[in-house]
């Protein structure tokens, strides 16, 4: 039996499930650190959101009679990423809703993995931000004494009820402190991760390490994170030089979700550009939007909206950032000389 195939007859070793598996590996240390900081509430929230994403994906596979799409691991990644953007004491039932929305509206609605316009995790996050404005802005300090034995009370809020505030379980994020109370959190806390914030955004250092692993192993591109980081330094540096009352570039980089966004959200390939020039523009746009929202908007954090906005701009960005094909300029010249 002779088989007929078309060229090329060789195939590179890297496969989609392999890439996605390694993204999960890279997220695990971040999860572990957030569990260390926030205890069983964090563990429960990550588990619930991820399971909700997997269940939603399975449900839609079943409803649409499509082949099993769980084996590409992207639902798991969406789940973990989404959980990492939530406050530690976020009610678990709301986490389940966020997971359902992320997969159903963020992915399946567009036609499944590869076709979504927005990062599904951020879409889920945006939904719960609008639906549960109080819960999503209720922060908990890190390293509470009995975090491994006790849930943060709000975590266990009954479905379809709102959490009630409990004293001793709240702490403002560095961005909110800076914006609304003019208090600066020490940079070392921001870098090492001992400030209040969402599950996965507290330690910039750890996020950079995990992202660097993916980049060095070739599982992730370097242009988008670099573009965001450089643009952030540039733009916020310019403000800082003009007026020292603006936060410094280092604070901008290490506070809030910027690092997590730059390395793990904006780099979701499906909702990012493919051309090198497009990636730089995309990164710049995200940095600029984030800084504008942080400095002049009504919200303390802007990275989520910035990325979603940039996601929506991808078709436009791609249209103006087509690469110069080999031999292109030369054609024009020879055409002119005729």
Partner 1 sequence: MSILDLFKNKTFSHGIHLPDKKEHTRNQKIRRLPFAPELIVPLTQHFGAPAKAVVSPGQEVVRGELIAEADGFMSVPIHAPASGVIKEIELYPTAKGPKTEAIIIKTWPGASQRMADFDPVNIPSLSHEQLIQAVQDTGMVGLGGAGFPTHVKLSVPAEYTIDTLVVNGCECEPYLTTDHRLMLESTEKLLHGISILMNALGAKQAIIGIEDNKMDAVNAIKDHISGFEHIQVQAVQTHYPQGSEKLLIKVLLGREVPSGGYPYQVGVVVQNIATITQLGELLPTNQGLIERVVTVTGTGVKKPGNYLIPLGTPIRFLLDYVGFSGTANHLILGGPMMGSTVASLDVPITKPVSGLLVFNEQSIEKVSDEIYPCIKCARCVDACPMHLNPSMLGQLAAKREYDPMMETYNLMDCFECGCCSYICPSNIPLVQYFRIAKSVLRERPREEV
Instruction: Report the interface residues with partner 1, using CB under 8 A.
Output: 1-19, 72, 112-115, 221, 269-270, 272-276, 279, 318, 322-331, 333-334
- With contact defined as beta carbons under 8 Å apart, do 217 and 270 qualify? no
Joined together, the tokens standing for residue 302 give 């802007």
Q: Which residue carries 């079943």 as its tokens?
A: 62
What residue spans of 182-275 are helical by DSSP H? 187-192, 204-216, 223-242, 249-254, 258-260
Dihedral angle of Cα 15, 21, 22, 25, to the nearest 10 degrees: -170
3-state secondary structure of 262: helix
Structure tokens at 163: 């959490």
Task: Evaluate whether 200 touches 84 at the Cβ level (below 8 Å).
Answer: yes
Q: Which sign does the torsion angle of CA 98, 101, 103, 107 carry?
A: negative
Residue identified by tokens 């004491």 is 89
- Nearer to partner 1 among residue 298 and residue 324 (C-beta): 324
Verify cis geometry, omega within 30 degrees of 0, for the bond prior to 97.
no
Nearer to partner 1, 64 or 183 (CB): 64
For partner 1, the closer of residues 296 and 325 by Cβ is 325
- Cβ-based nearer residue to partner 1, 298 or 327: 327
**Least separation in angstroms between CB 12 and partner 1:** 5
HSE value, Cβ hemisphere, 13 Å, CA-based, for 328 = 5
User: Comparing C-alpha atoms, which of 151, 174, 113 is closest to residue 300?
Assistant: 174
192 or 270: CB nearest partner 1: 270
Report in angstroms how near the CB of residue 17 gets to partner 1 at its nearest: 8
Largest CA distance in the chain: 81
In 94-151, DSSP assigns E strands to: none
Choice between 19 and 234, CB closer to partner 1:
19
151, 189, 210, 224, 235 from 249: Cα distances, Å:
36, 15, 22, 18, 8
Rounded Cα distance, 32 and 54, in Å: 20
C-beta closer to partner 1: residue 183 or 334: 334
Between 23 and 42, whose beta carbon lies closer to partner 1?
A: 23
For residue 69, give both structure tokens: 């799409």
Task: Return the number of the residue (245 or 324) whose C-beta is nearest partner 1.
Answer: 324
Cα separation, 53 vs 237, in Å, equals: 39
């Amino acid at each position: 039996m002779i088989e007929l195939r078309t060229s090329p007859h060789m195939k590179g070793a890297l496969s989609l499930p392999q890439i996605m598996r390694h993204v999960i590996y890279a997220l695990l240390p971040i999860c572990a650190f957030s569990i260390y900081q926030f205890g069983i509430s964090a563990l429960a929230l990550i588990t619930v959101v991820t399971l909700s994403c997997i269940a939603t994906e399975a449900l839609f596979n079943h409803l649409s009679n499509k082949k099993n799409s769980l084996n590409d691991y992207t639902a798991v990644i969406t789940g973990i990423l989404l959980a990492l953007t939530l406050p530690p004491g976020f009610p678990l039932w709301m986490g389940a809703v966020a997971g359902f929305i992320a997969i159903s509206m963020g992915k399946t609605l567009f036609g499944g993995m590869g076709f979504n316009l927005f990062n599904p995790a951020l879409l889920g996050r945006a939904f719960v931000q609008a639906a549960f404005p109080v819960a999503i802005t209720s922060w908990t300090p890190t390293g509470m004494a009995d975090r491994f034995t006790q849930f943060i009370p709000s975590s266990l809020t009954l479905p379809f009820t709102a959490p009630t505030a409990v004293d001793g379980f709240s702490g403002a994020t560095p961005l909110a402190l800076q914006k609304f109370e003019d208090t600066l959190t020490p940079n070392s806390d921001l870098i090492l991760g001992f400030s209040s914030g969402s599950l996965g955004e507290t330690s910039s250092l750890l996020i950079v390490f995990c992202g660097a692993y993916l980049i060095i192993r070739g599982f992730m591109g370097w242009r988008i994170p670099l573009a965001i980081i450089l643009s952030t330094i540039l733009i916020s540096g310019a403000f800082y030089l003009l007026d020292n009352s603006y936060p410094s570039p280092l604070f901008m980089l290490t506070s809030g979700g910027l690092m997590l966004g730059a390395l793990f959200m904006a780099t979701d390939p499906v909702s990012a550009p493919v051309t090198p020039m497009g990636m730089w523009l995309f990164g710049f746009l995200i940095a600029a939007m984030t800084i504008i929202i942080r400095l002049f908007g009504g919200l303390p954090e802007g990275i989520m909206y910035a990325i979603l906005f940039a996601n929506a701009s991808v078709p436009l960005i791609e249209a103006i950032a087509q690469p110069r094909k080999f031999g292109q300029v030369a054609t024009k010249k020879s055409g002119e000389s005729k």
